[in-house]
Every structure is written in C-alpha cells, then in structure tokens.
C-alpha cells in the first residue's frame, strides 16, 4: 500500500518525508485555506519536496472551468495530479484530461456506482471517503471492499483506489486488508501508525538493562 499525506502544511510534510514512508500528497481547498498561503506557491513547494503524485483540486464546478484550472495546475510540475469532484462535469473533465495525458484523482466518492463511472472515465485515482460515510451511519470500509471487487473484475481498469477521509490507524489497516492501493493520511494519524505504548515500554526496558552493562557501541 502507498501512503500519501493529506496536508498543505509544509513543515508537517517535511517532517514526515524524512521517515522515507511518504509516497505522495493530497490537498484540497480546505487544507489550503488552513495553510493561509497562496495555493500555487504551496503546490510548488510540495512538488519540490515529494517526487510522487501530488493531488491539486480544482475549484470550478463547470466543465470549462475545471479544464482551464486543471491544465493550469498541471503545468506547475510533472507530478501534479488534478483532483475533480465526482459530478457529471467532473467526470467529463476527467475523461478529457486523462486523454490529454494528465492524471486525475476523482474525489468525493460515496458509492460503488460512482467508482465504476470514474474508472470508465479514465481516472488515475478514485477517492472513496471512509470517515464521512461512517459519520452518517454507513460502513465506509464496505465501500472499499465493493470497489476492490468491481475493479478486480475488469483488469483493463487502471484506476487506483485511494482510501480517503481516514480517521484512525484502524482505517488504514482495514483499507490495506481490503486491498486499497493507497491511503491518504492526515499527519496526526500518520504518526499514530508507528506509536505503541508497548514499543515505548520495550525500548525503555532494553535501554535500562543496557546501561547497567556500562558498554557502548562504536564509541570511544
């Protein structure tokens, strides 16, 4: 499974990239608003930090507007992926941009039928929102299983399943078990993946025992 970081915070991103575990980045208008900086400036910095896919979302809701914004953003860097909403206009834009060679991430997916349409439109990524489905009493992970099953039936589909709206480490694990290709993870949840009290306890115990030996490794 590939790990994308869902952020527009450059400081957070640099810190997580240092782990060697980051494969890409996703952004959205809300994250950009929280960053309180110019979108294109932030996007350029992110693309310089991460060599993998960087999703940049259009804000237009009409076809021509999406195409204009998508083409403009795609010029910023070769690793930019254009993010469009799963609407009729968004699917049209996805089809056209994909034919032009620009990878597209179709976002705000809440049903298997929508995911099927996105794959037929040529999406590079489909972003089903697990957490938001959980919020309204549905099982978001069920949608991941459904999309994996459908896509597996059609080898010609090249669309990668990008589990989004991740709310906990368990979401990441369950998405991986279901066969999602990517999880896009907020920085806080990313860090929680490698934190465990038993690991901390074990390290403290080993260090305590080692110090009693009075030894050092490779030091004068």
Active-site annotation, residues: 83
Alpha-carbon distance of 201 to 204, in angstroms, equals 5
Helices 140-153 + 169-178 axis angle, to 10: 20
Question: CA–CA distance from 167 to each of 46, 112, 174, 183 (Å)?
Answer: 23, 21, 12, 11
How many CB atoms are located within 10 Å of the residue 141 CB? 20
Report helix, strand or coil for 61: coil
Cβ atoms of residues 16 and 5 within 8 Å: yes
Q: Return all residues near 183 (Cβ < 8 A) that are at least 6 apart.
A: 1, 2, 3, 4, 162, 163, 166, 171, 172, 175, 176
Question: CA–CA distance from 71 to each of 39, 67, 84, 98, 203 (Å)?
Answer: 15, 6, 12, 11, 50
Q: Return all residues near 69 (Cβ < 8 A) that are at least 6 apart.
A: 58, 59, 60
């Amino acid at each position: 499974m590939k790990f994308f970081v869902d952020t527009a915070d450059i400081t957070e991103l640099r810190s997580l990239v240092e782990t060697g575990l980051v494969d890409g980045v996703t952004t959205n208008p809300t994250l950009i608003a929280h960053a309180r900086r110019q979108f294109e400036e932030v996007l350029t910095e992110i693309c310089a930090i991460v060599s993998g896919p960087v999703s940049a979302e259009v804000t237009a809701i009409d076809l021509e507007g999406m195409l204009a914004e998508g083409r403009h953003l795609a010029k910023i860097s070769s690793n930019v992926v254009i993010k469009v909403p799963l609407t009729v206009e968004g699917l049209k834009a996805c089809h056209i941009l994909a034919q032009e060679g620009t990878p597209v991430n179709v976002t705000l997916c809440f049903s298997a039928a929508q995911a099927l349409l996105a794959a037929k439109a040529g999406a590079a990524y489909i972003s089903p929102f697990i957490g938001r489905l959980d919020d309204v009493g549905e099982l978001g992970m069920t949608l991941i299983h459904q999309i994996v099953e459908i896509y597996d039936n059609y080898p010609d589909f090249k669309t990668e399943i990008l589990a989004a709206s991740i709310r906990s480490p368990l979401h990441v694990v369950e998405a991986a078990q279901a066969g999602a290709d990517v999880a896009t993870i907020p920085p806080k949840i990313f860090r929680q993946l490698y934190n465990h009290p038993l690991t901390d306890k074990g390290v403290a115990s080993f260090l305590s025992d080692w110090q009693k030996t009075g030894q050092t490794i490779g030091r004068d």
